[in-house]
Structure 1
Amino acid sequence: MTKVVAPEGDFTVTVVDLGPAADAAAAVSAATALVPSLAGLTIEETVRPAATDGWDERTTSYFEVPPAQNRFALAAAYRRGDRWVVLIADGSQATLGKRGAALGTMSASLRPAGFVKEDFSGKKANPLTPERIEALKSFVRSGMDQLKVPGVGMALIEGGKVVWEGGLGLRDPRGKAPVDAHTRFMIASNTKGMATLLLSTLADEGKLQWDQPVTALYPSFRLGSDAVTRSVLVKHLVCACTGLPRKDVEWIIAGRATTPAADTFRQLAATQPTSGFGEVFQYNNLMASAAGYLGGHLAYPKLELGAAFDRAMRERIFAPLGMKDTTFDFAIATKGNYAAPTQVGLDDQVEVFDQTFNSHVIPYRPAGGAWSSAHDVAQYVMLELNKGITPSGKRLVSAENLLARRAHNVRDGEDSWYGMGLSTRRRYGLDFVYHGGSMAGYKSNWYALPDSGVGLVLLTNSEDGNPLIEPALRKLVELLYDGRDEAAARLAAAGRNVASGRHTLRDKLTLGRAAFDALGLAPRYRNAELGDVSFSTGAKGEAMVTFGELSGPVAVQRNPDGTASLVGTGGHVFGFDVLVGKDDQGKRTLTLRDPQHVYIYTEG
């Protein structure tokens, strides 16, 4: 048995080389019996990832933990032949929030002795013939069916040109309009790489240096203490390496589309890193937002921050690349040829919701507010593959400053690093440059494979789009290099596990107004940072909750310690989870958590 303890002392990973066991459940039971901290916990859900990397079978079991403990516990079982290995993770959610990349690296690198990784280094890629393109499209269609994804925008690049672009499925499941190459999707955090490209052009012009203090360019910038502020260089704004925790709850709930762009800097001034520079990967949208606004300010210092950024991106990035579908303007983006956001509800039906949730990113749009199409994102990916030369043959940015964005600033997985607004990965003996995007009802990724000059763009209009994307990339690798046939199994496992998670949540909830009324909640609660929470009755008599501008139905969840939580079951609040309680003065409270922050609403 091997045990690794996080520096904070409150999170432990234990690996048990167990040997033979009757099955996965028996292996998990035997291994967890060796970890006293798990005594008394029960397994809430077990999922079965695809058996890859030399394993014959894999399961991951999640333990049910009272929410007040802010704790995470799982047991992942791996079988090769008749031998089982079990990895157990148990500890503080806050520490997991800081060191999740390290846990992911440990679990991803656990392989049976003697396993030989696929290695396509030096191998010439197969051409993307019409037959291979059709095979990938067929694979994506299969994934759409399994995951209930209504529409996908897709593009494939090879040899410096787009060899296929178009759409699969529907823009909106309520209609018949098909997705095409120019259908707009919200591309969310894929905006980051484009915004750092703006910084690269400014570096070429001598208007900034990557190692320059941010305060030398924008004197009012603040991050926590004076000492931390002085340490922040331009590259730190987009490296996910400053130790700044994710802090999205405030802008998601308290934000408004009309909030000024300067709010990014207000929030950063009140935020302190929770780990050292370069120590761990911690993704923070506010820092990326600040980077984009800094670029806009340097390009057009007399304009308001948001207007300056929009103009700089339009004139310096989108127009030179011919990205005519791409915009930050929600009013333009959501008219005509655009894909509606969807999610699969607890009843397994696809539902469409409005853009209120997504509009809250507008004030922080350099981090994730762009709308684009498969055609347009492909133009950007070709620039990445061509090291700064546009598809029309003109140099937009120097290779030096484009490639600076791929520096290995901090490890975010096994053989994977975050640079500046994008990630790089070494897998199968190949290099990948990529990023993903996630907003409500939209999941997307782009990939550039420099070894073969191939690129892939996948844009989806579904909250469950992500489980389709990595298997599709794997399928592309199989087609290019005659790789092992694993993509289909990965996709099937993803489909099963997404449905299992939805059904597990549904089984934990008590639907109906009676259970809600029995909680004796106050009609209104307030938090100084996030604003009000209130309750109402929906058209079908269901209990509804409203967080600021976000609303939807809720159900009651009974927790293992006897407490109760309210869980959003649809609309803008799907998956929101607040703990019902009282404070020391007996006032009724609702507690909302993310891994490193706690927000308490009090009645009144």
Structure 2
Amino acid sequence: MLHHAHCSRLLLLGLCWLWLFCLAAPGMAREGFLEPEELEITMFRLMDKWQVHGVAVALIDSGEVVWEEGYGWADMDAWLPALPDTVFQAASISKAVSAAVALRLVQDGLLDLDEPVSGYLTRWQLPESEFDPDGVTLRRILSHTAGLSVPGYMGFLPDHPAQTLEDSLTSATDADDRGVAVILPPGEQWVYSGGGYTLMQLMVEEVTGRAFAQVASDLVLNPLKMKRSSFGDDSRLHGHQARSYTADNRDVPQRHFTALAAAGLWATAGDLARFAVALAENAAGEGGQLELRPELVQEIFSPQPGTESDLFFAGSRWGLGLGLLDLPDGQGLLAFHPGTNPPAWHSLLAILPGSTSEGSQTRGFIILTNGEHGGELVHDAMCLWMEAVGVQGITECVGRRP
């Protein structure tokens, strides 16, 4: 069996469960909540089913992060178990956090959502195209409607230096030598573009005069106390980072990225949950440490024109940095972002934002994995969470029992 790293912790976990049970009335479970003990049992079963070595999860209930845990292995060679403070590659969930960075600069007047991006660029410019480059705006970049190329990046092997940002935009060696260009009429349709987020990364550096990773830390990660999160390498994370594995137990070399805004975030599940809570709080006008005006955060949760998509959920649309799905039968809104850094990092951030006069009702689920078939595990675990919180009628979960 792959997942005996937690055997020495089972007694402690059992005591934690006992404590949780003692807080509730006998025989009573919290309605609309995925109980940690059910999650624990199911997670190990799914890890065996899909041959995934390590998983980290966080649960949000009533606007609070109520559970963080790791399961299985963070590093098999070093015999390190996955723990709540284990750091995983968040892959494309990076884009959701990067969008919040960009919106902070919009709030500060350094960027505008609807001005041509060319006006912010001096170090690099979009190449000539048959389509109007002035139609490329920050709003369209964040909602994947700017008509830009380069869906995603593979990253660089440890012994290969990363390209400069300008070289990557011109011809990314970790994206089949493709450069970022306007390949479709801006504003007319949704086409996923990690290249667009790399262009946004350059915009952030141009208007601040600082490295993107540092701006992101100052404006988002540090204010939200995301202490185990960083865009790119950070010495604070050393000793806490998971490794990733193929299904047959082979270690995958740890890749690094020029395209930090698109794919380069390292984070714990709990840190991403704190980010999700902050977004929901700000959108509801409840303040919060993110310090974004509610109307700007509401753009994250508002479908933008021309954003119909079937990425992860059929019939979804996109806000600024997050996918959005109107749940059937008036069950509310699901905001989400999947993540995949091939071959073995797979993840999902999912939020059900909501508030009443009594306070936040936001619920959420974050899962990070380090295995080749982690995408299937993420899908199964997502359906488990959906069922537990009472969401019904999701096409992707019909007939799928974790």
Q: Give the number of the structure whose residues are more often strand, by fraction.
A: 1
**SS of the residue aligned with 2:367?**
strand
Question: Residues of 1 paired with 2:315 and 2:282: CA distance?
Answer: 22
Question: Residues of 2 paired with 1:261 and 1:196: CA distance?
Answer: 18
Q: How many residues align?
A: 351
Q: 1:419 corresponds to which letter in structure 2?
A: G
Q: Contact 1:246–1:282 (CA<8 Å) still a contact in 2?
A: no
Q: Contact 2:301–2:319 (CA<8 Å) still a contact in 1?
A: yes
1:445-502 C-alpha deviation (Å, 9 max, x unpaired)? 111111441011101011211111122222112112285899695256xxxxxxxxxx
Question: Residues of 2 paired with 1:169 and 1:297: CA distance?
Answer: 42
2:268 to 373, 396, 405: 373
Q: Contact 1:384–1:448 (CA<8 Å) still a contact in 2?
A: no
Question: Residues of 1 paired with 2:205 and 2:113: CA distance?
Answer: 16
1:387-434 C-alpha deviation (Å, 9 max, x unpaired)? 258999445111111121333231112330122222111234331111
**SS of the residue aligned with 1:320?**
coil
2:377 to 468, 475, 488: 468
Distance 1:354 1:399, change over 3 A: same
Q: Contact 1:389–1:397 (CA<8 Å) still a contact in 2?
A: no
Higher relative contact order (CA 8 A, sep 6+): 2
Question: Residues of 1 paired with 2:240 and 2:65: CA distance?
Answer: 21
1:342 aligns with 2:245: yes
Distance 1:152 1:249, change over 3 A: closer
Identical-pair percentage:
22
**SS of the residue aligned with 1:411?**
coil
2:335: which partner in 1?
Answer: 433
Q: 1:490 corresponds to which letter in structure 2?
A: R
1:423 aligns with 2:323: yes
Q: Contact 1:210–1:233 (CA<8 Å) still a contact in 2?
A: yes
Q: 1:352 corresponds to which letter in structure 2?
A: D
Question: Residues of 1 paired with 2:153 and 2:112: CA distance?
Answer: 32
1:158 aligns with 2:61: yes
Give 1:286 shift.
Answer: 1.4
Question: Residues of 2 paired with 1:387 and 1:351: CA distance?
Answer: 43
1:110: which partner in 2?
Answer: none
Structure 1-normalised TM-score? Answer: 0.53
CA RMSD in angstroms, aligned pairs only: 3.0
1:411 aligns with 2:308: yes
1:266: which partner in 2?
Answer: 170
Distance 1:134 1:159, change over 3 A: same
Q: 2:325 corresponds to which letter in structure 1?
A: R
Question: Residues of 2 paired with 1:249 and 1:374: CA distance?
Answer: 22
Q: 1:411 corresponds to which letter in structure 2?
A: E
1:320: which partner in 2?
Answer: 223
1:233 aligns with 2:137: yes
Distance 1:466 1:491, change over 3 A: farther
**SS of the residue aligned with 1:163?**
strand
1:480 aligns with 2:389: yes
1:288 to 190, 197, 200: 197
Distance 1:388 1:316, change over 3 A: farther
Distance 1:290 1:491, change over 3 A: farther
Structure 2-normalised TM-score? Answer: 0.78
Q: Give matches, 1:576-587, under 5 Å.
A: none
Distance 1:473 1:249, change over 3 A: closer
2:400: which partner in 1?
Answer: 490
Question: Residues of 2 paired with 1:282 and 1:231: CA distance?
Answer: 15
Q: Contact 2:232–2:260 (CA<8 Å) still a contact in 1?
A: no
Question: Residues of 2 paired with 1:385 and 1:421: CA distance?
Answer: 14
1:188 aligns with 2:83: no
Distance 1:482 1:250, change over 3 A: closer
Distance 1:146 1:488, change over 3 A: farther
1:245-267 C-alpha deviation (Å, 9 max, x unpaired)? 435579769x9533112224424
Q: Contact 2:278–2:289 (CA<8 Å) still a contact in 1?
A: no
1:330 aligns with 2:330: no
Give 1:294 shift.
Answer: 1.1
In structure 2, the gaps of 5 or more residues are: 1-29, 173-177, 355-360
Question: Residues of 2 paired with 1:393 and 1:234: CA distance?
Answer: 24
2:15: which partner in 1?
Answer: none
